[in-house]
Structure 1
Amino acid sequence: MHSHTLMYAKTLDEKDRLSSYREEFYLPADKIYMDGNSLGLLSKRAEKTLMQLLDSWRTLGIDGWTEGAHPWFYMAEQLGERMASLVGGGKTEVIATGSTTSNLHQLAVTFYRPSGKRTKILADELNFPSDIYALKSQIRLHGLDSESELIRVTSDDGLTLCEERIIEAMTEEVALIVLPAVLYRSGQVLDMEMLAKAANEKGIPIGFDLCHSIGSIPHELHDWGADFAFWCTYKHLNGGPGSVGGLYVHEQHFGKEAGLAGWFGSDKSKQFDMDHTMTAAADAGAYQIGTPHILSAAPLIGSLEMFEEIGIEKIRLKSLELTKFMMGCIEEELQDFSFGIGNPKDASRGGHILLQHEEAARICQALKAEGAVPDFRAPDGIRLAPVALYNSFEDVWQTVQILKRIMADETYKQFKNERGVVA
């Protein structure tokens, strides 16, 4: 059977052991959703637990902190325990708290202690801007120059990074390393084990941004020796817009004073003593700052059930099959239209495809108008994320057919080649 036909896509869907989970989600009517790497879809389970938490506020008032099916006072720790397997951390090494950037600030101010020769932060030129903004501001807080003290490892192709080059940059001047696990544009998965081992050998603390990797690929952060990590939960974890983030701290650092202290970082048995001398939690909970965002964490209670039922390894396997099928369809159907595939074609790719085209912005608008929801990344990137939990192989085939029609009929020319306010 030809491998890039609608019939073959249907055959793959019939064999797909995860296909039943598609029914768990609210799929946009008459649309093919390929933007789960920016915002995952709402599931019925996430909706249910959100409503349960809302009801606990309605019926219990302040007693919701300690009563009900999901007492609010312990939610951050319980969700952290449940996310631990997704990052390869111990149950006490993970906490649900804050946002991506607030967690990065907390971890950077805790682990970045410039002294003597060691004053620089090592990052990369392809990282998401928010991480770079945060790291620059941390350098400035120490009275240092953010341009000269932030090292950004360069890329030869503007898409991928070379791990050996990153390791070469781990010099005696580096005080902290912060890198993405999966690059947000190209989807390249960095060899975190190699990088963590090198950093450990050189005595430099290293942390990873897991925003595009958690829920998409397996991790073994504890065994790899990563010092810390941070992430959002609204992409592959389907926690909803602005859902609470998460962080991991290796147990070897338990007892290390958090750079930014706050009441909810207390030992829970001591928190309400109201003592002005803080007794910090003995685990990752110590790195919380503010009161847990209960209603923004509630959808995760339901969403994480599916990851626990399936296991991240099976999710990863289907994800690789979906993206492989998509690349095959693209190469066969779009060869006449000057598209490039910017993501790694081997297993070092994450959960999305990067299509490149000089008319990318208007092509994305045309795709949306035709019922396929992509994601534009300047200057020339079309990100397409077939998500294992709710996208089918037929979705992939149909998306490529829509792209082919847009290009053949030149309907994309009806749109301006510029991004929207939110891209």
Structure 2
Amino acid sequence: MDNKGVITREKAGEFDAQDEFQQYREEFFLQPGQIYMDGNSLGLMSKRAEGKVLELMDSWKTLAIQGWTKGTYPWFYLPEKLSEMCAPLIGADSKEVMICGSTTSNIHQVISTFYKPNGNKTKIVADELTFPSDIYALQSQIKLQGYDPDEHLVRVKSRDGKMIEEEDIIAAMTDDVALVFLPTVLYRSGQLLDIERLTKEAHNRGIQIGFDACHSIGAVSHQFSDWGVDFAVWCNYKYLNGGPGSVAGLYVNKKHFGITPGLTGWYSSKKDTQFDMSHTLDVEESAGAFQVGTSHILSLAPLIASFELFAEADIKKIRTKSLHITRFMMVLIDQELDGLGYSIGNPTDDDRRGGHICLEHDEAIRICKAMVEEGIIPDNRPPNIIRLAPIAFYTSYEEVFDTVQILKKIVLEKRYEQYGKERNVVS
């Protein structure tokens, strides 16, 4: 798609008519009179997800404790079943994936396992634009090893406050670095890092490397196993539509199977010996070892539906649609919003862009409040970012067109001026 010719709503309708993902819109609870552009923060509920929750609740009602081993989805084996379904989304073997924990608890798990300071190799490399929870967890793990985070946590600087250059990350991989932990996609600007290149460069220097894939899984196709990534974590409630606070996921490369995780619990043991009740841990030789406690069965239910949808749609086709519809939005922004104080803050190249648009404006907070009143659900990140995510499954091209028109009207008519500049508690 290029900038030649004026894009009209009729053109948007033509794209919708050709879009094979239109069939999936009926799968989701889309609210009348509302355009949802916040699927990069919380995905919409699917009708299948509602059905799976009811089905798992019914198994509790009718089977009680026998539900652990009986029924359509025996609870004891459900995390492994979901891990198998999730594995294609990141390009991994099913045994390298485990659906468990939360993103932050899983960060603590993998960092406590792979951060082993030795001699002068005591530092962790991260970046200054990463999500705060990642930094808090890294600081905590460094302290637990007896080191000062101010000295031993290296945060690679951004040249422009928006993106991180791979060259700068590689330059930070010095002889005193023990571990590298980075986002796959930067949560503000939507920049997609070159995961394969960074992994290769880290390994060339004898450094293990892991990634936070919260802002890419379900929107970007990965090949973690082929690239040799050591470990990764992610949440399942954004592009994967697993519901608020959904059980998260982690990946551990099979070359690390058999090691004892930094944090262990009952579920770290092999399934067939777990109920031996031994005080000697029989460590599972898969990513399953990185579980700690009992799975949250009812919270796993929506993911059965989600992974079914992704298997049907195919992550590569999802990525193609995502790139096309975000390109469509960027072209419209250039066409309609020129001179109104808006600017695109995300990479424009397809190989550097994740699944959302980063739209910048000095009045972003107030514009977002005005958008909600106009029936558009955006996402705000202070001080000046409006995040907009056209989702492959349920966002139409006409909705993208209408969203840009609303953004235009809000500034032209100064509708944002009636709202306060204070940030909402949840933004």
Report TM bin, short chain: over 0.9
Matches within 5 A, 1:163-202: 163-202=166-205
Partner of 1:301: 304
How far residue 202 of structure 1 moved from its aligned partner, in angstroms, is 1.1
How far residue 338 of structure 1 moved from its aligned partner, in angstroms, is 1.0
How far apart, in 1, do the equivalents of 2:299 and 2:286 lie?
23
Partner of 1:81: 84
How far apart, in 2, do the equivalents of 1:199 and 1:255 lie?
22
How far apart, in 2, do the equivalents of 1:72 and 1:279 lie?
21
Partner of 2:402: 398
Contact 2:189–2:345 under 8 Å retained in 1 = yes
How far residue 336 of structure 1 moved from its aligned partner, in angstroms, is 2.2
Of 42, 45, 49 in structure 2, the residue corresponding to residue 46 of structure 1 is 49
Provide, for residues 97-140 of structure 1, a one-character-per-residue CA deviation record: whole Å limited to 9, x for no partner: 00100000000000001111000000000000000000000000
Contact 1:181–1:212 under 8 Å retained in 2 = yes
Partner of 1:285: 288
How far apart, in 2, do the equivalents of 1:112 and 1:28 lie?
45
1:100 is the counterpart of 2:103: yes
1:368 is the counterpart of 2:337: no
How far residue 375 of structure 1 moved from its aligned partner, in angstroms, is 0.2
Percent of residue pairs identical: 57
Of 315, 333, 336 in structure 1, the residue corresponding to residue 339 of structure 2 is 336
SS of the residue corresponding to residue 156 of structure 1 reads: coil
Partner of 2:239: 236
1:327 is the counterpart of 2:322: no
Contact 1:4–1:325 under 8 Å retained in 2 = no
How far residue 18 of structure 1 moved from its aligned partner, in angstroms, is 1.1
1:382 is the counterpart of 2:390: no
1:211 is the counterpart of 2:214: yes
Of 242, 261, 264 in structure 2, the residue corresponding to residue 261 of structure 1 is 264
How far residue 2 of structure 1 moved from its aligned partner, in angstroms, is 4.2
Q: Given residue 338 of structure 1, which amino acid in structure 2 is its aligned partner?
A: G
How far apart, in 2, do the equivalents of 1:375 and 1:4 lie?
25
Contact 2:240–2:306 under 8 Å retained in 1 = yes
Q: Given residue 378 of structure 2, which amino acid in structure 1 is its aligned partner?
A: P
Contact 1:120–1:174 under 8 Å retained in 2 = yes
How far apart, in 2, do the equivalents of 1:382 and 1:248 lie?
31
Provide, for residues 138-163 of structure 1, a one-character-per-residue CA deviation record: whole Å limited to 9, x for no partner: 00001110111000000011111110
Of 205, 217, 222 in structure 1, the residue corresponding to residue 225 of structure 2 is 222
TM-score of the two chains, using structure 1 as the length reference = 0.99
How far apart, in 2, do the equivalents of 1:153 and 1:160 lie?
11
Of 155, 161, 164 in structure 2, the residue corresponding to residue 161 of structure 1 is 164
Structure 1: runs of 5 or more not aligned: none
1:27 is the counterpart of 2:30: yes
Say what the alpha-carbon RMSD is for the aligned residues: 0.8
SS of the residue corresponding to residue 226 of structure 1 reads: coil
Length, aligned pairs only: 423
Matches within 5 A, 1:77-156: 77-156=80-159
Contact 1:99–1:232 under 8 Å retained in 2 = yes
Q: Cα–Cα, structure 1 residues 106 and 410, in superposed 2: closer, same or farther, change >3 Å?
A: same
Provide, for residues 185-211 of structure 1, a one-character-per-residue CA deviation record: whole Å limited to 9, x for no partner: 000000000000011111111000000
Provide, for residues 3-26 of structure 1, a one-character-per-residue CA deviation record: whole Å limited to 9, x for no partner: 521000000000001110011000
How far apart, in 2, do the equivalents of 1:82 and 1:147 lie?
40
Partner of 1:312: 315
1:11 is the counterpart of 2:14: yes
Contact 1:209–1:229 under 8 Å retained in 2 = yes
Contact 1:339–1:356 under 8 Å retained in 2 = yes
Q: Given residue 176 of structure 1, which amino acid in structure 2 is its aligned partner?
A: L
Provide, for residues 1-53 of structure 1, a one-character-per-residue CA deviation record: whole Å limited to 9, x for no partner: 94521000000000001110011000122100000000000001111111110
Partner of 2:59: 56
SS of the residue corresponding to residue 92 of structure 1 reads: helix
1:409 is the counterpart of 2:417: no
How far apart, in 1, do the equivalents of 2:367 and 2:406 lie?
11
SS of the residue corresponding to residue 155 of structure 2 reads: strand
Q: Given residue 309 of structure 1, which amino acid in structure 2 is its aligned partner?
A: E
Q: Cα–Cα, structure 1 residues 116 and 368, in superposed 2: closer, same or farther, change >3 Å?
A: same
Between 413-422 and 230-239, the greater mean CA deviation after superposition: 413-422
Between 196-205 and 224-233, the greater mean CA deviation after superposition: 196-205
SS of the residue corresponding to residue 262 of structure 2 reads: coil
Structure 2: runs of 5 or more not aligned: none
Contact 1:2–1:8 under 8 Å retained in 2 = no
SS of the residue corresponding to residue 354 of structure 1 reads: strand
Provide, for residues 303-361 of structure 1, a one-character-per-residue CA deviation record: whole Å limited to 9, x for no partner: 11111011111000000111011011111111121111000011111110011111100
How far apart, in 1, do the equivalents of 2:255 and 2:283 lie?
16
How far apart, in 1, do the equivalents of 2:308 and 2:399 lie?
24
Q: Given residue 287 of structure 2, which amino acid in structure 1 is its aligned partner?
A: A
How far apart, in 2, do the equivalents of 1:3 and 1:316 lie?
25
SS of the residue corresponding to residue 280 of structure 1 reads: coil
SS of the residue corresponding to residue 18 of structure 1 reads: helix
How far apart, in 1, do the equivalents of 2:260 and 2:16 lie?
50
How far apart, in 2, do the equivalents of 1:401 and 1:224 lie?
42
